[in-house]
Structure 1
Amino acid sequence: MAIDVKEKNNLITIQLNGSFDVSQYEKFKSICEGYKSPEYKFEIDFKNTVYMDSSALGMLLLLREQTKGDKEKVQLINVSGTVLRILEMAHFNQLFNVETVD
C-alpha cells in the first residue's frame, strides 16, 4: 500500500491506498512526526482504502494523541464500506469527525 501526502495551508492530507495495516506503521508514524507543530490539521483520506486492521486504529489514536484530542485537527474523509464498519464498531466516530461517502 502506498501512502501519499499533500500539504496545503497547514492542512496535511494523508491518502491511504489499499489496506491500512501494520505494514504502514513506520511510514505513517514518520509522516505524523514530521508535522508535530500545533498549527497543522490532518485529513486522512480513505477513498482508496479497502481494509484496515487494529494496528491502523492504533495509528489513528497516536495521531489523535499528537493533536491533543482536538476533533477539529483530524478529519477522516471519504470513509465507506468495511472501513466505515470497523471505525463504527470501535466507536472511532465518537473520537474523530468522520465524513462518509454516499
Structure 2
Amino acid sequence: MALKSNYADQTLTIHLASSFEVSQYEEFKRLCAEYYEPENRFVIDFKKTLYMDSSALGMLLLLREQTGGDRSKVKLININDTVYRILQVAQFNKLFSMQRLNEES
C-alpha cells in the first residue's frame, strides 16, 4: 500500500498504512531522500499501523542515521500499544522521540 505524506514548515509527515513492512522500503527511502535537508524534520505517523516487521525497524534506523542521529529530527507519533511494545523491546525509545496514540505531545 502506498505511503501518504505531506510537507509543511520544514517537516515531512509520513502517514503509514495498517502495516509497515519491507514492501514499502523503496517508497519510504525515496520520500526520505527527496525531502532530506539538514534543517528538515520527519514525523512518522503510526495512527493506522497495527503491524510492523523487522525491515520497518531497519528503515527507521536508516532515517535516524540520515538525520545524524539527532533525536529531535525524527518523531514517531500515534503509536498503538502493540507497536509501542515492539519499539520498546528494540529500545527505540532511547533513539527516537515517541508518542503513543491519544497521548499529548
- TM-score range for the pair, normalised by the shorter chain length: over 0.9
Unaligned runs of 5+ in 1: none
Please say if residues 43 and 75 of structure 1, whose CA atoms lie closer than 8 Å, have aligned partners that are also in contact.
Answer: yes
Unaligned runs of 5+ in 2: none
Deviation of 1:18 (Å): 1.1
- Quick one: distance in 1 between partners of 2:82 and 2:59? 18
Deviation of 1:50 (Å): 0.7
- How many residues are treated as equivalent by the alignment? 102
- TM-score relative to the length of structure 2: 0.93
- Quick one: distance in 2 between partners of 1:44 and 1:101? 12
- Quick one: distance in 2 between partners of 1:69 and 1:20? 21
Q: How does 1:8-27 map to 2 (within 5 A)?
A: 8-27=8-27
State the secondary structure of the residue aligned to 2:50. strand
State the secondary structure of the residue aligned to 2:48. strand
State the secondary structure of the residue aligned to 1:5. strand
Q: How does 1:16-95 map to 2 (within 5 A)?
A: 16-95=16-95
